[in-house]
Structure 1
Amino acid sequence: MAPQANATGARADESFLAAHSEDVLASLGDGLVLLDLDGRVAFLSPRAEDLTGVSAAQVVGRSVEQAFAMNPWIGDTVRCLQLGTARRTSDAGELLAPFGRRVAVQLIAAPVIDALGAAVGTLLLFRDTTAQRSLGDAADRGSRVSDLAAVAAGLAHEIKNPLGGIKGAAQLLAEEVGGNANVGRFTSLITREVDRVSALLEQLLELTRPPRLRLAAVNVHRVLNDVLTLERAGGDGALTVRLVFDPSLPDVLADEAQLRQVFLNLVKNALEAMEGTGTLTVTTRIETDFHVRHAARDLGQFLSVDVEDTGPGIAAEDCERIFAPFFTTKTSGTGLGLAVSERLVAQHGGTITIESELGRGTRVRVRLPVAAPDLRD
Structure 2
Amino acid sequence: MISEFQEALLDTVGACPPTQIANNKYENVLENLDSGIMLFDSDGVLSFINVQMAKLLELPRSSLAGRNLMQILHLPELSRFKKKILRIYKETIFHRKRYHELIDEYGRHWLMTVTYGDQMDGDFLFSVKDVSDYKQIEQTAYQNDKLAMLGRISASIAHEIRNPLTAIRGFIQLLRPHLMELGRDEYARIILTEIDRANDIIYEFLNSSKPSAPQKTAVSVMGLLKEVVMLTESEALMKGCQIALDENNELMKVSIDVKQIKQVILNMIKNAMDAIESISGEREGCIDIHTVLEGSYVHICIEDNGLGMDHNTLSRLFDPFFTTKESGTGLGLAVSYRIIKNHGGFIHVDSKHGMGTQFKITLPVV
* Alpha-carbon shift at residue 317 of structure 1 (Å): 2.8
Partner residue, 1:269: 271
| CA deviation map 1:39-89 (0-9, x unaligned) | 59xxxxxxxxxxxxxxxxxxxxx86524x549957xx9xxxxxxxxxxxxx
* Alpha-carbon shift at residue 320 of structure 1 (Å): 2.4
Aligned match of 1:363 in 353, 357, 364?
357
**Structure 2 Cα separation of the partners of residues 356 and 177 of structure 1:** 63
Give RMSD over aligned pairs: 4.9
Partner residue, 2:348: 353
Q: Which runs of 5+ in 2 are unaligned?
A: 1-54, 66-74, 89-99, 113-127
Q: How does 1:131-146 map onto structure 2 within 5 Å?
A: 133-134=135-136, 136-146=138-148
2:290 is the counterpart of 1:284: yes
**Structure 2 Cα separation of the partners of residues 127 and 287 of structure 1:** 29
**Structure 2 Cα separation of the partners of residues 213 and 127 of structure 1:** 40
* Alpha-carbon shift at residue 223 of structure 1 (Å): 1.6
**Structure 1 Cα separation of the partners of residues 309 and 204 of structure 2:** 27
Contact 2:109–2:132, Cα closer than 8 Å, also in 1 = yes
DSSP-derived class of the 1:305 partner? strand
Partner residue, 2:336: 341
Partner residue, 2:243: 242
Contact 1:39–1:63, Cα closer than 8 Å, also in 2 = no
2:336 is the counterpart of 1:323: no
CA gap 1:135/1:307 in 2 versus in 1, 3 angstroms = farther
**Structure 1 Cα separation of the partners of residues 293 and 108 of structure 2:** 16
CA gap 1:201/1:344 in 2 versus in 1, 3 angstroms = same
CA gap 1:282/1:236 in 2 versus in 1, 3 angstroms = closer
CA gap 1:189/1:222 in 2 versus in 1, 3 angstroms = farther
* Alpha-carbon shift at residue 188 of structure 1 (Å): 5.3
Amino acid in structure 2 at the alignment position of 1:352: I
Contact 1:350–1:367, Cα closer than 8 Å, also in 2 = yes
After TM superposition, the score normalised by the length of structure 1 is: 0.55
Contact 2:301–2:360, Cα closer than 8 Å, also in 1 = yes
* Alpha-carbon shift at residue 312 of structure 1 (Å): 4.2
Contact 2:337–2:347, Cα closer than 8 Å, also in 1 = yes
**Structure 2 Cα separation of the partners of residues 200 and 92 of structure 1:** 42
DSSP-derived class of the 1:328 partner? coil
| CA deviation map 1:312-332 (0-9, x unaligned) | 444543332221222222222
| CA deviation map 1:158-179 (0-9, x unaligned) | 3124335556878987x84998
Larger radius of gyration: 2
Contact 2:241–2:273, Cα closer than 8 Å, also in 1 = no
Amino acid in structure 2 at the alignment position of 1:327: F
Q: How does 1:252-263 map onto structure 2 within 5 Å?
A: 252-263=254-265
CA gap 1:248/1:198 in 2 versus in 1, 3 angstroms = closer
Identity %: 25
Amino acid in structure 1 at the alignment position of 2:272: A
Contact 1:302–1:367, Cα closer than 8 Å, also in 2 = no
**Structure in which a larger fraction of residues adopt helix:** 2
Q: Which runs of 5+ in 1 are unaligned?
A: 1-31, 41-61, 77-90, 108-124, 289-299
Contact 1:134–1:351, Cα closer than 8 Å, also in 2 = no
* Alpha-carbon shift at residue 136 of structure 1 (Å): 4.1
Partner residue, 2:91: none
